[in-house]
Structure 1
Amino acid sequence: MMLPPSARPGRLRLGGMRIGVVADTHAQGDGWDSPPELLHALRGVDLILHCGDLDELGVLDHLETVAPVLAVRGYPDPREDGDRLADTLRVVEVEGVRIGMVHDPRWPLPMTFTHTLGFPPGPIQDHLRPRFGTEVDVVCFGDTHDEYIGWYQGVLFLNPGSPSRPGMRHRADDVGTFATLDIHQGVVAAELHKLRRGQHLE
């Protein structure tokens, strides 16, 4: 399924389902150290997708105090039984929209795409289909800690950045970023959000 031309990044809440997307939380200790600003900002989402580099499984439990969580592993992440944490790849279907999740588009090999090095030649679905086992409409990924949103050949590529260890474009005292997807009747709106220190106290 290809997304309609009206599906563009934006602030419009379309109804349907709202999904919070996070990555690279790099939790410590028991994993319950996610920024309180993140949990506050995620209130009201129907589902949370975590694109890996958890470091500690407890971060998933912490996020689940807000909404159900589905995740994929990053390089160092522990494994767990059940459906919550997939090994390296997964596809989540929401209202007919297929969302492919992977921590690093270059891992596991073979490398299929990366937003920093450009996309491979030819139809992008020819590269995504073998990796995810199906055509996908959205690819959510992490690894770089730098937020990114862009469309390529009708596919939305979304990196939410890191809510706790933001990338080089941010100030040292910044909290970080996450993203949301609003899906309604096959139409997707995506938005990146910059957390504000202390916003949970407002």
Structure 2
Amino acid sequence: MTGIIRALSVMALMLALAGCGGSGVEWHAKNIRGLMPDLEFTLTAPDGEPFTAEDRAGQVRLLFFGFTNCPDICPATMARLQNAVKQMPQDMRDEVTLLFVSVDPERDTPERVGEYVDFFGDNIVGLTSDEETLRTLAKRYRTTFGYGKPDENGDYDVSHSNAVYVFDGQGRARLLIRSDQSISQISEDLETLVRQGRD
């Protein structure tokens, strides 16, 4: 009898853990499912038109805050993410979109942001807005940004997080890509999310 009770207890624990962990996938990135709000925003696209999360609904979307004058973190992150997408099976690549949100609206016009993201490849949307809207969006995902003191030429630095948030096709927050993840690990995670969306 004791053995049966023990077996039932183990089964109940396994079911509880399965319910908490979702699909049971061992992600390389940090699993943030249920910890962050769904993808929701209204920003400005390179053509000057409003762009919302619904415009790429059904796709896996990666959200990254940066600015076009960024000397290191932004270009390195953009290249890394694009290389990860390129490692995915060809029929999956069009199901992933990178959303690059500039938090430097003073210098980064929608057109300039568009030219910047075009340099890195396809399936990247450059977005921006006024500072208040950007701060609201950053706060929604528990991050922030700030501006340094302008130099004699009026140039200034922008501090921002290097976090990359990953949302599934339904706009649910799923993963937080870590800075120490390899390109292959990022690619594997994205491929898994795309496959889940097809099921």
Q: TM-score, normalised by structure 1?
A: 0.37
Bigger Rg over Cα: 2
**Higher share of residues assigned helix:** 2
Pick 1 or 2: higher relative contact order, CA cutoff 8 A, min separation 6: 2
